[in-house]
């Protein structure tokens, strides 16, 4: 396993190109949160030729719907949700400059291809380690779709957010590589 | 005839909504520790450590171990000599869920299937009631997240397929589920009954202490064989490669129709949450 790579958002194309499946990363800077319902609205905006509610250039989108923050805290528990539900929308966002996605679980082959084409990467965070992950989230503010509750789009400032590169721009897939290494036929 | 006021049920459900989500069972934590000892992959080991740490933070700070605080599934075993007073059972349970999820800062994740409009208080609960002997009521609160629920399947196999078809289907289901249900997982499965019976039995099997074998030696042996086959797939913790994809397989069986071989598989993520109380 390689050393830990520190990343700061927004991600540049050069940084994205340097990442390899299996790289352990710590992300600092801003992340934007969105789940299925928010993705649908974002893509609807693009379809209508309207601007998105945040700057998508180089952005990393975190697939998460946090639990409510207790008083005195910035966020509740906040682990990744399953990514395949966003597969239908991912390429549209890559087309306009999204460079990273954080979630859990395999992506569809066309999403992996889109990552190669548009130079974007897919990271996984530890699914279910939500109380631990919340510690790396320093501030949260709703930027759009407050009516969606946990599914609203939020801007999160994170510090050393722990993730691993699943799909790089070469089309490699850590889930496949990992399983092949430990499979007993 | 013993009287039980439903307000006690509301209170118990509210309390368990919170404790189930913040206080992971010792059996699950021990299974993580076993996993940490047996895991060969460094990434896998790091994941077990993170999960143990996560469970401690959740317990000590009384925050949910996972942001998906689940659909509130409540198993009720109602003694036939108990008499509930003060209101209806379902309404009392739903009120408990509403209170528990609000007061516990738990996520409200229940919505209309078509409009997707959120009910905003995590109700209604799914209530599975059984009438049993005695004059008590046992409530088991088992919140379950959407990521692992999406991996459940019910299938009607051909009886000629027998054990082999059953085991192949379960192993294949895990392979297809991959990292989606947040492995390490507990695989619950039930063979027989009707499709709905099998689904409930499989869900209920997840309430066993992790890895407690079936009392039926034949099923217990199948559980071991399945666990080995599933873990030999090599998917490991979080599906990133390793020895421990599943912590346990829990298998149940029920007589079925001469023409059928129903099978239900319910995969539970490592956030295997359930609390019970008897009133
Ligand atoms: S599958 Fe379980 S651990 Fe994973 S996000 Fe859902 S509820 Fe949490």
Cβ within 8 Å, pair A1-B42: yes
Residues β-bridged to residue B191: B253, B263
Backbone angles phi, psi at B59, to 5 degrees: -70, -45
- Residues whose CB is less than 8 angstroms from the CB of residue A138 and which lie 6 or more positions away in sequence, other chains included: A74, A156, A157, A158, A159
Domain that holds residue A130: 4-182
Q: Is A4 on the interface with B (CB under 8 A)?
A: no
In this prediction, residue A2 carries a pLDDT of 58
The two beta strands, A60-62 and A100-103, are: parallel
Whole-number Å distance between alpha carbons of A36 and A142: 16
Radius of gyration of chain B (CA): 19
Mean pLDDT of the region B222-245: 98
Nearest Cα to Cα of residue A117 among A51, A37, A173, A171: A171
In this prediction, residue A3 carries a pLDDT of 86
Nearest chain A Cα distance for residue B63, angstroms = 7
Classify burial at A15, counting beta carbons within 10 Å of its beta carbon; exposed 0-12, middle 13-18, buried 19 or more.
Answer: middle
Whole-number Å distance between alpha carbons of A58 and A55: 8
CA distances from B234 to A167, B37, B121 (A): 19, 16, 40
Whole-number Å distance between alpha carbons of B42 and B51: 14
Q: pLDDT for B114-158, tens place per residue?
A: 998 999 999 999 999 999 999 999 999 999 999 999 999 999 999
The DSSP code sequence of A4-17 is PEEEESSPPHHHHH
* Host H or E run for residue A138: strand A137-144
CA distances from A53 to A32, A121, A140, A145 (A): 11, 22, 15, 9
pTM, two decimals, is: 0.96
Q: pLDDT for B72-125, tens place per residue?
A: 999 999 999 999 999 999 999 999 999 999 999 999 999 999 998 999 999 999
- Number of A/B CB contacts below 8 angstroms equals 158
Q: Is the dihedral of CA B118, B119, B122, B124 positive or negative?
A: negative
Average pLDDT of chain B is 98
Whole-number Å distance between alpha carbons of B257 and B251: 19
- Residues whose CB is less than 8 angstroms from the CB of residue A12 and which lie 6 or more positions away in sequence, other chains included: A58, A99
**Which atom of ligand 1 is closest in space to residue B181's alpha carbon?**
1
Q: pLDDT for A112-162, tens place per residue?
A: 999 999 999 999 999 999 999 999 999 999 999 999 989 999 999 999 999
Whole-number Å distance between alpha carbons of A39 and A147: 14
Whole-number Å distance between alpha carbons of A134 and B86: 41
Helices within chain B (DSSP H only): 6-22, 26-38, 42-61, 89-103, 146-149, 162-177, 195-205, 217-232
* Host H or E run for residue A131: helix A130-133
Which of B61, B65, B178 lies nearest to residue A175, judging by beta carbons? Answer: B178
Mean pLDDT of the region B192-212: 98
Whole-number Å distance between alpha carbons of A90 and A43: 9
The two beta strands, B82-85 and B2-5, are: parallel
Q: pLDDT for B164-187, tens place per residue?
A: 999 999 999 999 999 999 999 999
* Residue B155: HSE in the Cβ half-sphere, 13 Å Cα cutoff: 18
Residue with tokens 């509403």: B98
Nearest chain B Cα distance for residue A155, angstroms = 17
Q: pLDDT for B9-24, tens place per residue?
A: 999 999 999 999 999 9
Tokens representing A107? 């992506």
Is B269 a pocket residue for ligand 1 (Cβ < 6 Å)? yes
Mean pLDDT of the region B47-72: 98
- Residues whose CB is less than 8 angstroms from the CB of residue A105 and which lie 6 or more positions away in sequence, other chains included: A82, A83, A84, A124, A127, B147, B178, B179, B180, B239
ipTM beyond 0.85?
yes
Q: Is A3 on the interface with B (CB under 8 A)?
A: no
Burial A61-73 (b: 16+ CB within 10 A, else e): bbbbbbbbbeeee
Residue with tokens 């993520």: B269
Cβ within 8 Å, pair B67-A127: no
**Which atom of ligand 1 is closest in space to residue A128's alpha carbon?**
3
SS3 B80: coil
Whole-number Å distance between alpha carbons of B242 and A179: 7
Is A65 a pocket residue for ligand 1 (Cβ < 6 Å)? no
Terminal Cα-to-Cα distance of chain B (whole angstroms): 14
Is pLDDT above 60 for A1? no
Structural domains counted in chain A: 1
Domain with residue A117: its CATH number is 3.20.130.10
For residues A25 and A67, is the Cβ–Cβ distance under 8 A?
no
Classify burial at B158, counting beta carbons within 10 Å of its beta carbon; exposed 0-12, middle 13-18, buried 19 or more.
Answer: exposed
**Is the backbone peptide bond immediately before A48 cis, with ω within 30 degrees of 0?**
no
């Amino acid at each position: 396993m390689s050393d830990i790579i520190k990343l700061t958002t927004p991600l540049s194309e050069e940084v994205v190109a340097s990442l390899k499946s299996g790289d352990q990363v710590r992300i600092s800077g801003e992340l934007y949160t969105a789940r299925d319902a928010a993705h649908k609205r974002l893509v609807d905006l693009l379809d209508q030729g309207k601007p998105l509610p945040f700057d998508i250039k180089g952005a990393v989108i975190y697939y998460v719907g946090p639990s409510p923050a207790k008083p005195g805290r910035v966020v509740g528990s906040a682990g990744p949700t399953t990514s395949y539900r966003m597969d239908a929308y991912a390429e549209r966002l890559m087309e306009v400059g999204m460079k990273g996605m954080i979630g859990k679980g395999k992506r569809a082959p066309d999403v992996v291809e889109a990552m190669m084409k548009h130079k974007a990467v897919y990271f996984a965070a530890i699914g279910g380690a939500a109380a631990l992950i919340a510690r790396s989230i320093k501030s949260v503010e709703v930027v759009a779709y407050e009516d969606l509750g946990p599914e609203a789009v939020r801007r999160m400032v994170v510090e050393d957010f722990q993730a691993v590169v699943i799909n790089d721009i070469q089309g490699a897939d850590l889930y496949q590589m990992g399983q092949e290494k430990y499979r007993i036929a | 005839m013993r009287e039980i006021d439903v307000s006690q049920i509301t209170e118990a459900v509210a309390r368990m909504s919170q404790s189930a989500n913040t206080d992971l069972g010792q059996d699950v934590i021990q299974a993580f520790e076993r996993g940490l000892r047996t895991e060969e992959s460094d990434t896998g080991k790091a994941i077990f450590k993170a999960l143990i740490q996560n469970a401690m933070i959740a317990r000590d700070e009384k925050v949910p171990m996972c942001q998906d605080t689940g659909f509130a599934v409540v198993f009720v075993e109602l003694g036939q000599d108990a008499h509930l007073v003060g209101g209806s059972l379902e309404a009392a349970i739903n009120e408990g869920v509403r209170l528990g999820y609000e007061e516990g800062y738990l996520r409200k994740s229940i919505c209309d299937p078509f409009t997707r409009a959120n009910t905003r208080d995590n109700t209604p609960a799914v209530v599975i009631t059984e009438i049993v002997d005695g004059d008590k009521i046992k409530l088991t609160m088992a919140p379950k997240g959407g990521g692992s629920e999406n991996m459940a399947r019910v299938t009607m196999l051909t009886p000629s397929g027998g054990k082999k078809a059953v085991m192949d289907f379960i192993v294949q289901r895990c392979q297809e589920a991959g990292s989606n249900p947040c492995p390490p997982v507990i695989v619950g499965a039930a063979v027989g009954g009707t499709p709905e019976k099998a689904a409930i039995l499989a869900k209920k099997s997840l309430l066993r202490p992790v890895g407690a074998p079936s009392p039926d030696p034949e099923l217990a042996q199948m559980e071991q064989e399945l666990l080995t086959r599933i873990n030999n797939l090599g998917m490991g913790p979080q599906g990133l490669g390793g020895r421990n994809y599943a912590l346990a397989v829990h298998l149940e069986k029920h007589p079925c129709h001469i023409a059928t071989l129903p099978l239900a598989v319910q995969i539970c993520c490592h956030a295997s949450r359930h609390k019970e109380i008897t009133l």
